[in-house]
Amino acid sequence: MSAQPGAMTPRKLMDMLRHGLGAPLIVLAMLAMVVVPLAAPVLDALFTFNIAISLMVLLAVVYVQRPLEFTIFPIVLLMSTMLRLALNVASTRVILLNGQNGHGAAGKVIEAFGDFVIGGNYAVGIVVFAILTIINFVVITKGAGRVSEVTARFILNAMPGKQMAIDADLNAGLLTREEAKARREEVREEADFYGAMDGASKFIRGDAIAGILILFINLLGGMAVGMLQHDMPFAEAASTYTLLSIGDGLIAQLPALLVSSAVAMLVTRASRAQDMSKAMIGQVFGQHKALAVSAAILGLVGLVPGMPNVAFLTLGLILGVIAWKMWKRSVDMPAQEAAKNEAKAQATAQPSAELSWDELRPIDPLGLEVGYRLIPLVDKNQGGELMARIKGVRRKLTQDIGFLIPPVHIRDNLELAASAYRLLVHGVPVATADIHADRELALDPGGALGKLDGIAGKDPAFGLDATWIQPHQRSYAESMGYTVVDPATVVATHLSHLIREHAPELLGHEEVQQLMGTLAKSAPKLVEDLTPKALALSVVVRVLQNLLVERIPIRQLRKIVEALVEHAPQSQDPTVLTAAVRTSLGRFIVQEIAGMSAELPVYTLAPQLERVLQDSTQGNGVALEPGLAERLHQSLAECVGKQEARNEPAVVLVPGQVRAALARLVRHSVPSLSVLAYSEVPEDKRLKLVGTIS
- 280 assigned to some structural domain: no
Same domain, 575 and 611: no
- Which residues does 515 contact at the CB level (< 8 Å), separation at least 6? 402, 403, 554, 557
Least confident segment among 70-79, 260-269, 338-347, 408-417: 338-347
Which structural domain range is residue 302 located in? 286-329
HEC profile for 33-98?
HHHCCCCHHHHHHHHHHHHHHHHHHHHHHHHCCCHHHHCCHHHHHHHHHHHHHHHHHHHHHHHHHH
Nearest-angstrom CA–CA distance, 513 and 540:
10
pLDDT band, residue 507 (cuts 50/70/90): very high
Average pLDDT over every residue of 568-590? 91
* Contact in structure between 444 and 465 (CB atoms under 8 Å): yes
**Span 272-287, pLDDT tens digits:** 556 666 666 666 666 7
- In the predicted structure, residue 347 carries a pLDDT above the cut 60: no
Nearest-angstrom CA–CA distance, 31 and 38:
12
- The percentage of residues in the chain with a pLDDT greater than 70, rounded to a whole number, is 85
Same domain, 673 and 544: no
Average pLDDT over every residue of 117-134? 72
How many domains does the chain divide into? Answer: 5
Q: Where is the domain boundary, 238, 270, 302?
A: 270
Tell me what pLDDT residue 8 has.
47
Tell me what pLDDT residue 424 has.
92
Nearest-angstrom CA–CA distance, 562 and 525:
11
* Contact in structure between 629 and 686 (CB atoms under 8 Å): no
Q: What is the mean pLDDT of the chain?
A: 80
Same domain, 90 and 213: yes
102 φ/ψ sector (left φ>0, alpha ψ -120 to 50, else beta): left
* Contact in structure between 79 and 26 (CB atoms under 8 Å): yes
Tell me what pLDDT residue 238 has.
74
φ and ψ of 408, to 5 deg = -100, 120
- 8 assigned to some structural domain: no
**Span 131-178, pLDDT tens digits:** 877 777 777 777 777 777 777 777 777 777 777 777 777 776 667 778
Predicted model pTM: 0.58
Question: From residue 268, how far is each of 187, 252, 480 by CA, in Å?
Answer: 18, 25, 22
Same domain, 685 and 623: yes
DSSP-derived secondary structure letter, 604: E
- 14 assigned to some structural domain: no
Same domain, 498 and 527: no
Average pLDDT over every residue of 379-397? 85
Average pLDDT over every residue of 493-499? 91
- In the predicted structure, residue 5 carries a pLDDT above the cut 50: no
Same domain, 565 and 622: no
What CATH number should be reported for the domain holding residue 493?
A: 3.40.30.60
Tell me what pLDDT residue 463 has.
84
- 633 assigned to some structural domain: yes
Least confident segment among 15-24, 70-79, 134-143, 650-659: 15-24
Nearest-angstrom CA–CA distance, 379 and 385:
8
Tell me what pLDDT residue 21 has.
59
- The percentage of residues in the chain with a pLDDT greater than 90, rounded to a whole number, is 16
Q: Greatest CA separation found in the chain? A: 121
**Span 584-638, pLDDT tens digits:** 998 999 988 888 888 889 988 888 888 888 877 665 555 667 778 788 888 888 8
- 413 assigned to some structural domain: yes
Give CA 201 to chain center in angstroms: 25
Same domain, 555 and 646: no
**Span 301-343, pLDDT tens digits:** 878 777 777 887 888 888 888 888 877 777 666 556 666 666 6
Same domain, 147 and 238: yes
- 605 assigned to some structural domain: yes
Same domain, 604 and 580: no
What CATH number should be reported for the domain holding residue 606?
A: 3.40.50.12790
Q: Where is the domain boundary, 538, 561, 584?
A: 584
- 344 assigned to some structural domain: no
pLDDT band, residue 97 (cuts 50/70/90): confident
- 218 assigned to some structural domain: yes
Q: Where is the domain boundary, 470, 503, 536?
A: 503
What CATH number should be reported for the domain holding residue 526?
A: 1.10.8.540
Question: From residue 677, how far is each of 551, 582, 668 by CA, in Å?
Answer: 15, 9, 19
Same domain, 380 and 318: no
Q: Which residue has the higher pLDDT, 447 or 262?
A: 262
Same domain, 579 and 516: yes
Same domain, 226 and 91: yes
**Span 526-566, pLDDT tens digits:** 998 888 888 889 999 999 999 999 999 999 999 999 999 99
